[in-house]
Amino acid sequence: MLIKVLRSKIHRARVTDTHLEYEGSITIDETLMDGAGLIEGEGVLVANLNNGSRQETYVMKGKRGSGIIRLNGASARLAAPGDLVIIMSFAYLTPEEAKGHKPRKVIVNEKNRIVRGP
């Protein structure tokens, strides 16, 4: 049996932009991706602290050091620039593996710069 556990998260990132006329995804500053251990194309859950929405999408690499957090396509309808979001990835582990698992947590400031975490 496998259980779903939190693998990593970027906590309280600020949405910098939305782009409705795009095929979908979330664009994330590559520095933040590295900090959270996210890879391009990986599925994530985005929880919006401003409106309570939760959406699944996939990660696209944004310019390193830009601080970009852009929701694209249909996801753009669920956030506005300035909204705070938590971006989470998950993994399936055995219960034994899960006991020793420690998720990677990245906390950012208002400019989406890492202030705590890897």
Q: Is residue 68 within 8 Å of residue 16, measured between CB atoms?
A: yes
Cα–Cα dist 9/37, whole Å: 9
Q: Based on the residue annotation, tell me whether 92 is a catalytic residue of this protein.
A: no
Segments of 34-113 assigned E as strands: 43-48, 54-62, 69-72, 84-93, 104-108
Which listed residue (22, 53, 58, 66) is catalytic?
58
Which listed residue (25, 53, 66, 75) is catalytic?
25
Token code pair at residue 70: 């852009």
Cα–Cα dist 44/35, whole Å: 15
Q: Based on the residue annotation, tell me whether 25 is a catalytic residue of this protein.
A: yes
Residues acting as catalytic residues: 25, 58
